[in-house]
Amino acid sequence: MRALYFGTYDRGYPRNAQVISCLRGAGVDVVEAHTAVWGRHNWSVGPAQLARLLRAEGRLLREGARDADVVIVGYPGHFDIPAARRVARGRPVVFNPLVSLYDTVVEDRGRYRSGSVAAGVVRQLDRIAFRGASVVVADTDAHARFFRERFGLRPDAVEIAFVGAEDRLFHPGWQAPEPFHALFVGKLIPLHGLDTILAAAAVAPEIPFRVVGEGQLSELLRDRPANVEHVPWLEYEQLPAAYQRAGCALGVFGTGAKATRVIPNKAFQALACGTPLVTADTPAARELLTDGVDALLVPPGDPRALAAAVRRLAADVALAARIGGAGRATYELRADEPTLGRIWRSILERATG
């Protein structure tokens, strides 16, 4: 089987790199037709960015045709579906969206006011993308249900494959650190619940917290508690060592609807490294994790519960090691590259009949 991975997708984003690696590991010949537009996950579409996007779509139409059984549109590829359908010439188009644009930039991040012209444009872009694909691949069952309901998709038009992590980088190596610290890595968007993390750090001043990243909510770090270290940026290749040296890893704790539907990259990366994970108790998390077995799950937006979970792990090395080891076992069973490669290949086989 040959697959064409197509579009203006972010080549460095884990979801794209990991899916391509999974498919190749499963024996699928993956070729790429790619034009860079987005940079470091920049979703802004001003006049200059729109001009770059239009030029990119033109290049993809001219140069994107390949001999392939199926076309996969990578993340973020919401603008690429019309071009992908033209290049596909009747072959299936599999959309790997990761998120809904409207759900992300309007409902979660509040970039555009609901009911505004801009929000209406984003909603229509979403609809064109999701309804224009032959198959949409969601990252959780909760997200799959949302996509089906939001865009009126047939049940068999939405498949599911966890996000996972890149096995070439993220592998076991966690050891209980001295001193213990709780690690959060992310883009500081509302979904992540940075306010909850900072409030938890204030509740547990004896425990160091390390926040890696910057973004929409960076201002919250200006008055952060004294026990919170902020590192604006780490190279992607440095993340495995950061997880392996952390006492525990923090997932997402936002209280918005989107937070209930996702299991983020950071959670899978921590599991792959055998690092004890603390994250919000949501329907999506429950698809993969069991509280007290392979992770500690706490109510979203509850800093006291988060602080209590971190304190449990800091005080009990045996518990932390048991949670981390079970997390790695869950990862190997449900979300490592060989497992996801089989799932992705079966999705492509069903799409191509």
Mean pLDDT of 231-246: 96
Most confident of the ranges 75-89, 102-116, 299-313: 299-313
Domain 182-334 matching CATH 3.40.50.2000: the answer reads yes
All structural domains of the chain with their residue ranges:
2-164+337-352, 182-334
Secondary structure class of 24 (helix, strand, coil): helix
Residue 74's closest CA among 137, 24, 25? Answer: 137
Residues 6+ apart with CB under 8 A from 280: 193, 251, 252, 253, 254, 259, 297, 298, 299, 300, 301
Query: May I ask the CATH class of domain 2-164+337-352?
Result: alpha beta
In this model, does residue 322 exceed pLDDT 50? yes
In this model, does residue 128 exceed pLDDT 80? yes
End-to-end CA distance of the chain: 12
Sheet with strand 29-34: strands edge to edge: 29-34, 2-7, 70-73, 93-95, 135-138, 158-160
What's the whole-number average pLDDT of the chain? 93
Mean pLDDT of 45-62: 81
Query: What is the pTM assigned to this prediction?
Result: 0.92
In this model, does residue 42 exceed pLDDT 60? no
In this model, does residue 59 exceed pLDDT 60? yes
Mean pLDDT of 50-61: 86
Helix 265-273 vs helix 317-334: angle between axes, to the nearest 10 degrees? 110
Per-residue pLDDT, 269 = 97
The model's confidence at residue 27, banded by pLDDT at 50, 70 and 90, is very high
CA–CA separation, 185 and 315 (whole Å): 23
Mean pLDDT of 265-281: 98
Lowest mean per-residue pLDDT among 91-95, 256-260, 329-333: 256-260
In this model, does residue 277 exceed pLDDT 80? yes
The model's confidence at residue 54, banded by pLDDT at 50, 70 and 90, is confident
In this model, does residue 194 exceed pLDDT 50? yes
Burial of 238-269, coded b for 16+ CB within 10 Å and e otherwise, reads ebbebbbbbbbbbbbbbbbebbbbbbbbbbbb
Burial of 209-236, coded b for 16+ CB within 10 Å and e otherwise, reads bbbbbeebbeeebeebeebbeeeeeeee
In this model, does residue 43 exceed pLDDT 70? no
Mean pLDDT of 49-57: 83
Lowest mean per-residue pLDDT among 107-121, 129-143, 246-260: 107-121
CA 41 to the chain's CA centroid: 12
The model's confidence at residue 195, banded by pLDDT at 50, 70 and 90, is very high
Beta pairing, strands 158-160 & 228-231:
unpaired
Mean pLDDT of 237-262: 96
Per-residue pLDDT, 45 = 61
Per-residue pLDDT, 41 = 46
Asked if residues 124 and 334 have their Cβ atoms less than 8 Å apart, the reply is: no
Mean pLDDT of 198-226: 95
In this model, does residue 287 exceed pLDDT 50? yes
Burial of 136-161, coded b for 16+ CB within 10 Å and e otherwise, reads bbbbbebbbbbbbeebebeeebbbbb
Helix H or strand E segment including 298: strand 296-298
In this model, does residue 142 exceed pLDDT 80? yes
